[in-house]
Amino acid sequence: MSDRKYIAKEEIERQMTLADRLYAEIQPRCLKFYVETFGCQMNVRDSETIKGILARCGYTECAEKETADLILFNTCCVREHAEKRLMGNIGALREQKESNPGLIVGICGCMMQQDGIAKKLLRRFPHVSLVFGPNVVFRLPEMLGAVLSGERIALTDEEDFAIAENLPRIRDNSRSAFVNITFGCNNYCTYCIVPFVRGRERSRSMEDIRKEAESLCASGITEITLLGQNVNSYGNDLEAGSFAELLDKLNFVPGLKRLRFMSSHPKDLTNEVIAAIARNDRVCHHVHLPVQSGSNAILKRMNRKYTREQYLEIIRKLRDAVPDVEFTTDIIVGFPGETEEMFRETLSLVEEVGFAAAFTFAYSPRVGTAAASMHDQIPEDVKKRRLYELNALQAEKTVENNKKYIGYEGEVLIEGCDERTDETMLYGKYRNFKMVYFPGKPEEVNQYRNVRVLSLSRNSLIGERIDG
């Protein structure tokens, strides 16, 4: 694997020059693109860059797949169902390609980094002509040029996981933005495909991150979410700089009101990070802290490098330092070797912590990961039943958590509105990630309002404005 940390500036410039040349050809033809994103925020962020490059190449975005001249699926391979869905989606485009032979169908994202899949997809789907991995997005102008002149391209470049700075981007919203701080992952949790498809962990320089945050906020963004597979290990590969220092620095970016981050790995959530969350007023009081399991035996087999007790200790310390902090988590049930008793330990941890929300998954074996070849795999029906039981418990805990909020007052960033009811209901989040609904006008979306919680409705908080 190459040690090159950044893609050379000259290479990025070369790609942008190619994009500008394509613009002259594509823009007059009014060609349109449609990008569909699967998976996590990392992919959402990658899609923003992909859209930015496509716009630079002369395409405009369209809302309907049916009217597009270029359709791109940005894929995920973290869990199995995403793959099945993708295959269905690609198959369904066969007819559209027949009626519009100029249509370009492309597939990109993590799944394309899996062994041999890129070439396999080209063979299986003759109507697909562009396949590439997440680390070569910057070469899209070059790839597109080749595809437009009739080639079929599969580029995954497994050797190179260097960082590409200064690529164009199109953001979906004007209020919040994602900012990558690390790429890749070194942790090798035994169930997880990410280290294989996203490469080793690389941190962007603190300067590049600060500059990006400043330019986002100068353009009106007030909420930034820092993204990394494990934000807490930010800087481990740099000569200087840690996640705590990064929070200290970004806290003072002019115009920034809310600084969020995800995901945190419990093994690296140190006292310094806790102190940095507590002392920086822009840092939001929400920690997404994937626990994965409540059983020490399973955590060990997962290679998570913390125990249940250590996890609970971090929760306690964070609650001491930041009293209104809320936690969300990820949990996997049915990991190989998980006995009924071990599963009950996960339930008891969920009971004990009281997460605001949990993203729960049935374990799905990923080819190439250590857990996929563990011999004591759990039958699907057992996984399903455990997932159901866990979700039922978390639903109760969510309602319990919501009850604490009756009478709560705080500032909400409005994310959207729901006009289906008699009255327009706005929704948005408090700083600690709790969502609240309250009456208002659609023009208020993206604004901040002070809201008091009045009641609960199923899983939601219902409130009223208290600032006139």
Burial class (CB in 10 A: 0-12, 13-18, 19+), 189: buried
Q: Rounded to whole angstroms, how far apart are CA atoms 121 and 57?
A: 25
Pick out residues in 278-297 that bind ligand 5AD (CB under 6 A).
290, 292
Instruction: Please check whether residue 439 is in contact with residue 424, taking contact to mean a CB–CB distance below 8 angstroms.
Output: yes
| Of 153 and 332, CB closest to ligand 5AD | 332
What's the angle, vertex CA 88, arms to CA 83 and CA 91, rounded to 5?
125
Burial class (CB in 10 A: 0-12, 13-18, 19+), 381: exposed
| Amino acid present at 147 | V
Q: Rounded to whole angstroms, how far apart are CA atoms 5 and 1?
A: 11
Q: Rounded to whole angstroms, how far apart are CA atoms 409 and 467?
A: 11
- Piece in contact with ligand SF4 (CB under 6 A), picked from 29-37, 120-128, 190-198, 217-225: 190-198
| Of 297 and 454, CB closest to ligand 5AD | 297
Residue of the chain from 185, 289, 298, 322 that contacts ligand SF4 (CB under 6 A): 185
Q: Rounded to whole angstroms, how far apart are CA atoms 90 and 365?
A: 23
- Piece in contact with ligand 5AD (CB under 6 A), picked from 30-38, 162-170, 249-257, 359-367: 359-367
Q: Which of 138, 136, 141, 117 is nearest to 128 (CA)?
A: 117
Q: Which residues pair with 332 in a beta bridge?
A: 361
The 237-276 site mask, x for binding ligand 5AD (CB under 6 A), equals: ----------------------------------------
Closest contact distance (angstroms) between CB of 299 and ligand SF4 is 12
Instruction: Name the helix (H) or strand (E) containing 277.
Output: helix 271-279
In terms of residues, how long is the chain?
A: 468
Q: What are phi and psi of 6, to 5 degrees?
A: -120, 145
343 binds ligand 5AD (CB under 6 A): no
| Of 242 and 364, CB closest to ligand 5AD | 364
189 binds ligand SF4 (CB under 6 A): yes
**Cβ-Cβ contacts under 8 Å for 256 (sequence gap 6 or more):** 213, 217, 221, 222, 223, 224, 250, 282
Q: Which does 332 bind (CB under 5 to 8 A by kind): ligand 5AD, ligand SF4, none?
A: ligand 5AD
Instruction: Please check whether residue 332 is in contact with residue 363, taking contact to mean a CB–CB distance below 8 angstroms.
Output: yes
Q: Which does 277 bind (CB under 5 to 8 A by kind): ligand 5AD, ligand SF4, none?
A: none
The 43-82 site mask, x for binding ligand 5AD (CB under 6 A), equals: -----------------------------------xx---
Residue of the chain from 135, 346, 364, 432 that contacts ligand 5AD (CB under 6 A): 364
Instruction: Name the helix (H) or strand (E) containing 42.
Output: helix 41-56
Q: Which does 139 bind (CB under 5 to 8 A by kind): ligand SF4, ligand 5AD, none?
A: none
188 binds ligand SF4 (CB under 6 A): yes
Tokens, residue 96:
């559209």
Q: Which does 195 bind (CB under 5 to 8 A by kind): ligand 5AD, ligand SF4, none?
A: ligand SF4
- Piece in contact with ligand SF4 (CB under 6 A), picked from 13-21, 68-76, 186-194, 268-276: 186-194
| Amino acid present at 165 | E
Q: Cis omega before residue 99 (within 30°)?
A: no
- Piece in contact with ligand SF4 (CB under 6 A), picked from 51-59, 184-192, 319-327, 377-385: 184-192
| Of 11 and 158, CB closest to ligand SF4 | 158
Q: Rounded to whole angstroms, how far apart are CA atoms 462 and 468?
A: 17
Pick out residues in 194-213 that bind ligand SF4 (CB under 6 A).
194-195
- Piece in contact with ligand 5AD (CB under 6 A), picked from 132-140, 264-272, 363-371, 424-432: 363-371
229 binds ligand SF4 (CB under 6 A): yes
Residue of the chain from 34, 59, 191, 234 that contacts ligand 5AD (CB under 6 A): 191
Can you give the binding site for ligand 5AD, defined by CB under 6 A? 78-79, 191-192, 290, 292, 330, 332, 361, 363-364, 366
Can you give the binding site for ligand SF4, defined by CB under 6 A? 185, 187-189, 192, 194-195, 229-230, 265
